[in-house]
Amino acid sequence: MTSQNIYILAIESSCDDTAAAVMLNGKILSNIVASQKIHEAYGGVVPELASRAHQQNIVPVVDQALKKAGIDKSQLSAIAFTRGPGLMGSLLVGTSFAKSLAFGLDIPLIDVNHMQAHILAHFIEETDFKKPPFPFLAMTISGGHTQIVRVDSYFKMVVIGETIDDAVGEAFDKSGKLLGLGYPAGPEIDRRAKLGNPKAFAFTKPKVGGLNFSFSGFKTAVLYFVQKQVKLNPNFIEENLNDICASIQYTIIGILIDKLKLATKQTDIKHIAIGGGVSANSGIRQALKDGEHKFGWTTYVPKFEYTTDNAAMIAIVGYLKFLEGDYAAQNVMASSRLKI
C-alpha cells in the first residue's frame, strides 16, 4: 500500500470509443466512455470518421472524468494513454492530447499497450471481483482482438495463440449482417440464441493448428449456407432466425472452448481470465462456468464496464507503471501494430 495519493488520468482512443478515467491508488473514481454511434450506419468502424469524432469528444470526455472524480487537474500525478495497437488516426488524437497535457502540467506521461490493459483490467480494485493469481491465461475476445496470453506477472506476458485473420467479434458481426441484423450484431445474436436450438444447423469448425484461431472461413461458411437455404426457401432466414443465431453462437463457443482446453493442457495453467466485448456473451460465460466442473479450471470475469474498450483499464496499467517509475519520453509515438 502506498501512503501517497496517486491520481492517474487515463485516456483511451484506439478504436471507436473516446474514453477517460481517473484512478486513485488503484480504485476508479470516474470512467467515462463516449461511444461513436456514427459507425452503425456503415455496418463497421470507418477510421477517418472515428478520428474526427475523437477530436470532438476528447476535451468534454476528459473534463467529465475530472469533474466526476471531483478533482482538479493540478492534483494529477501522471497521464496514461493508449499507445497502440489500434487505428492510427484514432491513436494519434489520444497520444497528442496526453502528451500536451502532461507537458503542460509537468507530470509524467505513461504509455500503455491496449492489449495488456484488457488483461490488467482484472487488477482494478473492486470489492466483489476476485483477481486471478499468477500465472494465468487471459483470453481477450472483441471486435478487434482474439488472443490467448500466458500472464506470468503484471508485465511479463506471452501471446500463445491469436487469430490469423478476423477477430471473433467480427465473426458475430459479419454473420449477423448476412442475416440482416444491425451493427454490432453480437448482442442480438446472443439474445436470439437463447430462444433457438443450438444444434439446428451444423457449421464446420476451422482447422487451424495449435492455439491460433481463424474466423474468415467460418463467415464464408455461414454465407454459403444462407445463400443455399434462401434459394430453396426465400423466407428461410425469417422462419429460422433464432435457430441460426443459436447454431452460429454454439459453433463459435465450441471453437473458443476447444482452444482453451488445449491451452490449459499445454501450459498446465488452470486459471482463465477473459476480457473484451465478446466476453459479455451469455453463452460463452456459461460455457466457461461449466468448464469449472468439467475441466477443473477457474474463470475470472471483470466488471462489465471494464471488459469493453474503456479508460479504467488504461488507468490501472498507468498506475502499476507509475509505481515502477516506468514513464514514456515526450517523443513517444503512437504505434498501430504495437505488440504485447
Say whether residue 111 binds Zn ion (CB under 5 A). Answer: no
* CA–CA dist 28, 42 (Å, integer): 34
- Could you tell me the smallest distance in angstroms from the CB atom of residue 67 to Zn ion? 25
Sheet holding 78-84, edge to edge: 27-35, 17-24, 7-12, 78-84, 109-113
- Could you tell me the smallest distance in angstroms from the CB atom of residue 199 to Zn ion? 32
* CA–CA dist 77, 315 (Å, integer): 12
Say whether residue 170 binds Zn ion (CB under 5 A). Answer: no
Which runs of E-coded beta strand occur in 116-275? 136-141, 146-153, 156-162, 271-275
* CA–CA dist 104, 205 (Å, integer): 53
For residues 136 and 119, the answer to whether their CB atoms sit within 8 Å is no
Partners of residue 20 on adjacent β-strands: 11, 32
* CA–CA dist 202, 260 (Å, integer): 21
Say whether residue 94 binds ligand KG4 (CB under 6 A). Answer: no
Q: Are strands 109-113 and 136-141 parallel, antiparallel or unpaired?
A: unpaired
* CA–CA dist 178, 174 (Å, integer): 6
Among 84, 89, 132, 184, binds ligand KG4 (CB under 6 A): 184
**How many residues in the shown chain lie near Zn ion by CB under 5 A?**
2
Residue nearest to ligand KG4 (CB): 277
Q: Quick one: what does residue 172 bind among ligand KG4, Zn ion, none, with the CB cut-off 5 to 8 Å set by partner type? A: ligand KG4
Select from 20-28, 89-97, 121-129, 181-189 the region that touches ligand KG4 (CB under 6 A).
181-189
Q: Quick one: what does residue 308 bind among ligand KG4, Zn ion, none, with the CB cut-off 5 to 8 Å set by partner type? A: ligand KG4
Among 94, 144, 291, 318, binds ligand KG4 (CB under 6 A): 144
Contacting ligand KG4 within 297-336 (CB under 6 A): 308-309
Residues 11-50: x/- map of binding to ligand KG4 (CB under 6 A)? Answer: ----x-----------------------------------
Residues 137-156: x/- map of binding to Zn ion (CB under 5 A)? Answer: -----x--------------
Residues 264-283: x/- map of binding to ligand KG4 (CB under 6 A)? Answer: ------------xxx-xx--
- Could you tell me the smallest distance in angstroms from the CB atom of residue 144 to ligand KG4? 4
Residues sharing a CB contact under 8 Å with residue 206, sequence separation 6 or more, in sequence order = 213, 214, 215, 217, 218, 255
* Sign of the Cα pseudo-torsion (191, 161, 92, 308, in order): positive
Q: Which is nearer to Zn ion, 13 or 142 (CB)?
A: 142
- Could you tell me the smallest distance in angstroms from the CB atom of residue 144 to Zn ion? 6
- Count CB neighbours of 202 within 10 A: 11
Which runs of E-coded beta strand occur in the chain? 7-12, 17-24, 27-35, 78-84, 109-113, 136-141, 146-153, 156-162, 271-275, 298-300
Say whether residue 87 binds ligand KG4 (CB under 6 A). Answer: no
Binding residues (CB under 5 A) for Zn ion: these are 142, 309
Residues forming the site for ligand KG4 (CB under 6 A): 15, 142-144, 169, 172-173, 184-187, 190, 276-278, 280-281, 308-309
